[in-house]
Structure 1
Amino acid sequence: MNLHDWIDELCDVLDIETEVDEALVLDLARDAAHNVERPAAPITTYLLGYAAALHEADPERVEKLAAAATALAERWDGKDPEAEAEDIELDDEAIKLVDAD
């Protein structure tokens, strides 16, 4: 069994139908683990999944949200999360997505 098979089986068990951009999720998990701390990886990917569900899993929106999360992780130093978040440049659509939540 490989990762793709695992995802298919897990979707069946969870009774969901969705396409997963494996590389996007794995890259985000890696960036969160390396730049924040290891436990941030599953939490970050969970929250991306939650955001994806809120936005009906539109792939373009998910990519923008993942890019915003990656930018936050890359700038993270644990000092002041609010100050770090303000430095992240998002396009207007991504800002609308984040503000809508």
Structure 2
Amino acid sequence: MNVLSEWTALACKELGVDPASVDRDLILELTKEVAHGVARPAAPLTAYLLGLAQGSGTAPEDAVERITTLARNWERATTETLTDG
């Protein structure tokens, strides 16, 4: 077992989360898109926000898809937001 797998298993146990419910690769891909498309510090913040969204009832796959799209279109999204005001 590698360090990431061990960490995931232990963190899930500590938090009372079913490890089978964690799609590690999906989360890592999302944070990679955000880190490269927006800013590196936005990646862990995004992971936290994803957890909040899931806790509020948003399906994780839907949230990941929406945030990935936002990160991939970050420059256009910010340009549109800044010129709308």
Q: Same fold (TM over 0.5)?
A: yes
> Aligned partners of 1:42, 1:81: CA distance in 2, in Å?
24
* TM-superposed deviation, 1:81: 6.9
* TM-superposed deviation, 1:17: 2.0
Asked if the contact 1:36/1:78 (under 8 Å) is kept, the reply is no
> Aligned partners of 2:24, 2:50: CA distance in 1, in Å?
13
Per-residue CA deviation, residues 31-56 of structure 1 (Å, 9 max, x unaligned), is 0000001001000111011111111x
**Count of matched residue positions in the alignment of Structure 1 and Structure 2:** 79
Structure 2: runs of 5+ lacking an equivalent: none
> Aligned partners of 2:29, 2:54: CA distance in 1, in Å?
16
> Aligned partners of 1:48, 1:82: CA distance in 2, in Å?
24
1:44 equivalent among 43, 46, 56: 46
Per-residue CA deviation, residues 47-79 of structure 1 (Å, 9 max, x unaligned), is 011111111xx7xx2101100000000000287
Asked if the contact 1:29/1:41 (under 8 Å) is kept, the reply is yes
CA RMSD between the two structures: 2.3
Identity among equivalent positions (%) equals 40
Residue of structure 2 equivalent to 1:62: 60
Report runs of 4+ in structure 1 exceeding 2 Å deviation. Answer: 78-83
Q: 1:17 to 1:81 in 2, by over 3 A?
A: farther
> Aligned partners of 1:26, 1:82: CA distance in 2, in Å?
28
Asked if the contact 2:70/2:77 (under 8 Å) is kept, the reply is no
> Aligned partners of 1:81, 1:12: CA distance in 2, in Å?
42
Q: 1:36 to 1:12 in 2, by over 3 A?
A: same
Q: Show the 5 A alignment for 1:1-101.
A: 2=2, 3-14=4-15, 16-18=16-18, 19-55=21-57, 61-77=59-75, 80=78, 83=81
